[in-house]
Amino acid sequence: MKAVADALAVTPMALYHHVDNKADLVALMVDKTIRENPMPVPSNEGWRENLLALARWSRDGMSAHPAVGQLQLRYRVWTPASLAMGEHWVSLWQQSGLESDAAVECALLSSIAILGMVHEEMHLQDFEPPDESQLGLLPNLRSMYRAKFEPGRAFDVLVRSVIEGLYTSSSVGPGEGKR
């Protein structure tokens, strides 16, 4: 709180006239960053494309403000904007035609997977691949590290795969091919 107060050129006690504690301050930051850009409006392209658009929007927001997501987790805050985003995510899955419980499970699992992808992508920005001496007799691994990596394209492929994989495995009835 002192650092925030110093940055705003006020006393820490002045902040407490607006927020009760650090968690309240974090909640304001979370809500502000989520509302920075409006959520994508559902299109006529179907629930899968609308999920992809919402996933891209979430990725853009988290990438623009990586520390805010970490603070939200640390202080365990929920805001009107974060709850509205979650509600929208679940409602898109409910449009899939899956049974209600399956749609909710897919919403939860896809959310976890996509958040994990975004966090890993942020860590990859500082990633240094092994050098040639380490990859000497590993041609397959060498080709992977030399391949052109396009984060936006990779994100779309992964999100589409998660959505389709969850949908397909939730659509299959018991004993009809689930392993």
CATH class of 2-171: mainly alpha
pTM score above 0.85: no
Say which range, 1-15, 76-90, 147-161, 165-179, has the weakest mean pLDDT: 165-179
Domain definitions of the chain by residue range: 2-171
Residue 179 pLDDT: 39
Among candidate residues 107, 120, 80, the one with its CA nearest the CA of residue 167:
107
* Calpha distance 154→163 (Å, rounded): 14
Q: Residue 64 above 70 pLDDT?
A: yes
Share of the chain above pLDDT 90, in %: 62
Residue 1 pLDDT: 74
Q: Could you tell me where the DSSP H helices lie in the chain? A: 2-8, 12-15, 22-35, 47-64, 66-75, 80-94, 100-124, 132-135, 139-146, 151-171
Identify which has the larger pLDDT, 154 or 148. Answer: 154
Q: Residue 148 above 80 pLDDT?
A: yes
pLDDT-based confidence at 173, cuts 50/70/90?
Answer: low
What's the whole-number mean pLDDT along residues 129-142?
Answer: 91
